[in-house]
A and B are shown apart, each in its own frame.
Chain A
Amino acid sequence: MKSLEELKAIRERVQSSINIRNEGGADSTRVVVGMATCGIAAGARPVLAAFVDEVARRKLEHVMVTQTGCIGICRLEPVVEVYVPGQEKVTYVKMTADKVAKIVSDHIVNGKVVAEYTIGAAE
């Protein structure tokens, strides 16, 4: 170890992988992927993977990607719900891995809900 910068580089490299262990708290955005049998069968797993990747790539520290069971609209799976603190939750349906990047950049980062992917647009 030669300098504090070197130490900082290691810290930053590892920190992003350890952040998962902070329970986030009230100010973090939660991305919840439906991962019951119906969700997985419809392809929720790659969607979840894409969210984890995208969040890590952008180094978004206050975003927690997690999973939940079946919420009852199996025909619209994979379902993803995004909870931004202080706002109504947004439900995205018939998700694919390709749609993930847009949701992260438009909705989570810039605060603009991607209306065409939401449950309102699908119904």
Chain B
Amino acid sequence: MNMVRSHILVCGGTGCTSSGSQKIIKSLEAELKANGLDNEVKVIQTGCHGLCALGPIMIVYPEGSFYSRVTPDDVKEIVSEHILKGRIVKRLLYQETVQEGQIKSLNDTEFYAKQMRIALRNCGVINPENIDEYIATNGYEALGRVLTTMKPQEVIDIIKASGLRGRGGAGFPTGLKWQFAANQPAGKKYVLCNADEGDPGAFMDRSVLEGDPHAVIEAMTIAAYAIGSEQGYIYVRAEYPIAVARLKIAIKQAKEYGLLGKNIFNTGFNFDLEIRLGAGAFVCGEETALMTSIEGHRGEPRHRPPFPAVKGLFGVPTILNNVETYANIAQIILKGPEWFSSIGTEKSKGTKVFALVGKIKNTGLVEIPMGTTLREIIEEIGGGVPNGKKFKAAQTGGPSGGCIPASLMDTPIDYDNLIAIGSMMGSGGLIVMDEDTCMVDIAKFFLNFTVDESCGKCTACRIGTRRLYEMLEKITSGNATMDDISKMEELCYYIKENSLCALGQTAPNPVLSTLRYFRDEYEAHVRDKKCPAGVCKSLLSYEILPDKCKGCSACSKVCPAGAISGELKKPFVIDKSKCLKCGACIEKCKFGAIVKK
């Protein structure tokens, strides 16, 4: 008897996997079996739901109960109470869904209500390892329609009319890119997918691959038909093991169904797809470096023009799109370009996925229509800055982007607005910072990243970023002069102008944007030798307030340097010459008697 009456969806995205969702799936299956329910309740592993801060996440259908922070110990209760007796385990429900005793739908919670899921539509909804579930949600319908009823040029015209722009960061119109490649004389051409997501804190592409790999495969096949290609590669970093495994499964299933391979939909169209693993070099996310890497060489960028659409992989016309860009394609075909272009702002259509991280309550993945303001993302969807701290800035675009100060929080987010305020869309990392973040330190953090990741081909980038880092180091250690700030600015422009690829051209952005909006912090480091946020160790000193100190000696016991001394029941003192500024004493003091200055 086939009578599945309930589906239990457990998130198998990277966030929830790291918080233990695999264990939960195992104990859930065991518990269901023990209760003889394994034939009527189906456990499904899905991709990311976006609310990673509350993982592991479990949704029980048909009720749609959204359980958060589930532990293996909770599984027994969920099975015996909810599955067996139909009593929802209220204490595990996502708090936002419980209001005045009523259980709200997940889509009405603040985190989801303002979102609009196009690229992420299947993430957390279907089982990514089952092609049938993708097909059940209209999967491969777009490909079928394209192959059987449209000419390649019609496909390109639809993508052009939709206004879709590349989601990898630069925002080049996707349809135009396809047109350039299609215009090249017939012959060997390639379709590539850039899944070499490297920005610190970004995990949008990863989640799409983990939650909905077939969407990328379908879109790449459509692109291949549009430009006349028979071979594609997905370049994905080896550090994404779950994404790679699910992609492999998806490609295998698509081949078995004849959705990849020869004579797809009986139209004579052939397309084959392979995975190429990247070793994790940041520069390989740059399109020409990525192609060089696929060709088997060391990943270094090359000069453009010729652009890849003319002379790309192995010297033939190639299109390269980002994972999220592809995730939009099938929906545009099915729902029409007018639908897509009705979403968003004048020059930025559709939605954008952001990985919301840093000092924010709802860490996770959000997809919002272009034109949503930063304030809506952070205060409403993100739930605001935790612990009552004040919002200071948001960083978008990773090491290539910049910081947006609180005063610009009401800027509608789209490609052009972000560039105008000195940042960029980037691939979609959004790092939230509060008053305890030092902006000079943040710039230094990103520079440290680019120093490591510069491929070394261009002198301006290789040596320039290193020198820039050293200047920041000088500032945070309190040894810089005001002259150094202007020298640093000059060097920034020099690096930008003399680097071949986007890595070098954008590497100084974190410095330039923090200088633009937080110059006073730089000046405080240089002139007053103070770090206003209390982060830069060299500029800090720890002191014990004599009137608050009870002389309990807890601090002196925990101090690793033996820098604190005193007589019991009398105020203690810190010997500044010995103090390592580790902060252990502050954590230990029950009376709030130790302060950073």
Contacts and interface: CB of A to CB of B under 8 A. Distances in A.
Interface of A: 1-4, 7, 10-11, 13-15, 17-18, 20-21, 23-24, 33-37, 40, 48-49, 52-53, 56, 64-69
B101 to A, nearest CB: 15
B85 A35 contact: yes
A64 to B, nearest CB: 5
A93 B2 CA distance: 25
Nearest to A66: B62
A3 B62 contact: no
Closest 10 CB pairs of A and B: A67-B86, A14-B136, A35-B86, A52-B5, A1-B258, A23-B64, A14-B132, A69-B87, A4-B144, A2-B266
B130 to A, nearest CB: 8
Given A2-B258, A4-B145, A20-B61, A69 B85 contact: yes
B307 interface: no
13 contacts: A18-B126, A20-B4, A23-B107, A33-B86, A36-B86, A37-B85, A49-B5, A52-B3, A53-B3, A65-B5, A68-B86, A69-B86, A69-B87
Given A21-B62, A52-B5, 11 more contacts: A11-B135, A11-B136, A13-B132, A14-B136, A15-B136, A20-B6, A23-B62, A52-B4, A66-B63, A66-B86, A68-B86
Interface string B133-160: 1011110110011001000000000000
B148 A18 contact: no
B259 A1 contact: yes
A48 B105 contact: no
Interface in B1-21: 1-7, 9
A25 to B, nearest CB: 9
B135 A40 contact: no
Interface residues of B, number: 38
Contact of B1 (A7, A23, A53): A53
Contacts of A68: 86-87
Nearest to A53: B3
A101 B227 CA distance: 55
B470 interface: no
B133 A14 contact: yes
Given A17-B4, A18-B126, A64 B265 contact: no
B87 A36 contact: yes
A22 to B, nearest CB: 8
A64 B105 CA distance: 15
Interface string B83-121: 011110000000000000000010100000000000000
Contacts of A33: 86
B125 interface: yes
Contacts of A53: 1-3
B264 interface: yes
Contacts of B264: 1
Contacts of B3: 49, 52-53, 56
A49 B5 CA distance: 7
A86 B107 CA distance: 23
A20 B141 contact: no
B257 interface: yes
Nearest to B126: A18
A13 B130 CA distance: 14
B453 interface: no
A14 B132 CA distance: 6
B40 interface: yes
Contacts of A52: 3-5, 40
A65 B137 CA distance: 21
Given A2-B265, A69-B87, A7 B6 contact: no
Interface string B265-281: 11000000000000000
A52 B7 CA distance: 13
A1 B265 contact: yes
Interface string B64-91: 1000000000000000000011110000
A10 B135 contact: yes
